[in-house]
Structure 1
Amino acid sequence: MKSLSLVVALLLSSTSYAQVQEEVDSFGGNEALYMKAKALNPEVENEVIQNRFISRTKRVELAPEFSGVFGGDSYNQTNNMGMNVHYHINPSWSVGLKYSYSFNTLTPEGKAMVDKANKDAAANKKDPNYLFPQVIYPKTETTALVNWYPIVGKLSFGKLGVAHFDTYLTAGYGSMELSNSSTPAATLGLGLGFWVNQNLTTRFEYRAQQYKAEYYNKTENMVTNVASVQMGWML
């Protein structure tokens, strides 16, 4: 009888240990585990990150964006403002649409070339020696997107709360309207998305973009880098 009681006690102990171990090994633990830890030593303040509490299945995310473009026409600098619409199929995949409007300014090199051409045109009105540079710049962009979120994590802000994040890969294809034509454009990049609560989202994204620009005497294959910040709202 004593042997049987010992076996039963061992089995119960093993089951309880397995349940606690499963909670510890799971992503973040839960409130029950927190209460157990606090009961063992009430003088010690414990914090437990909760399991994923933000649903991203069959939800729409609206995300205004500001981005800076590095590369492209050497005489031009571009910044974009736009809107992203993401449809989250599940926490791992989403599809979306991006629309951006571009703001362009001449680079110092571009300004120097324009000033040089202006001075030459004033001095040699009939037969100028320098031509104004041809500057090709983006005006708008429309891109269809696919996003994949393979890695998830959580970040504790202490008593302020917990935000979980996903590192994601993004790929897209669409159309870009340039100053002198329209051209197909492809993009590929990666990002870090923070899901603060059931509605508020933040994304930091870096992507490479490829398109073609038609100059007077050549076709240039443009490869630019785009860094962006998005502040979104989940419906």
Structure 2
Amino acid sequence: MELKVLTKDEIYEEISEDIVKLINEKHNAVLGLATGSSPVGVYQKLIEKYADKKVSFKDVITYNLDEYVGLTKDNDQSYYYFMMNQLFKHVDINLANVHVPDGIETEKCIETYESNMAKDGGIDYQILGIGSNGHIAFNEPGTPLDSHIHIVTLKDSTRKDNARFFASIDEVPTHAITMGLKSILAGKRIVLIATGKNKALAIKRLFEEGETTDLPASVLKGHLNVTIYCDEDAASLLEKVGA
């Protein structure tokens, strides 16, 4: 794993430039997208670059990592709604090429989501965040490292992490549908974004511990093309920043 310690703006700029370059080289690039606060700055940069006519998304295909179980697409806390507001409605992407796990028809989604992804050629560029407990997507500690798309019961720490997006923690769903750890590792290029002191312990563990189900993000150690992007706060517990 490569580590880059940059300012937030530098992180968002570098990743967005990578994506623009990829799309301009391969118009039907398949992007693996994440939600939460970590990637929003990247999406804002992509919108700016689209507005500046540096890139077109009309042939791009996207697959999101996860969705809350029980929320419809038009629910303002669903990840489909999030992606529409944070990226899709601001660029020229064909919504037929947009894929977010279905939080209602979960059984059908589990049967078809990853096979459809494979038919599209697999993920070229996967964006990840990391939870304070080391989860990626909604793969909580204890998730088998060889897992595929599945339903998960959310840990209290994860629901607490996400409660800021809801009126109260009681409104945060208790289950989600998520791509598994093995599914994520199939991405050709993976970038993980971690910003803020609340991610510092997870990042420290990621670099100092071995591969373990106790730290789902540790599965990334087995991938040959991963960059971990941290700001100074997220990297603050590492002994050698920028190494």
User: TM-score normalized by structure 1?
Assistant: 0.21
In terms of fraction of residues, the more helix-rich structure is: 2
Give the structure with higher Rg (CA): 1
Q: Relative contact order, CA 8 A, sep 6+: which one is greater?
A: 2
User: TM-score normalized by structure 2?
Assistant: 0.21
In terms of fraction of residues, the more strand-rich structure is: 1
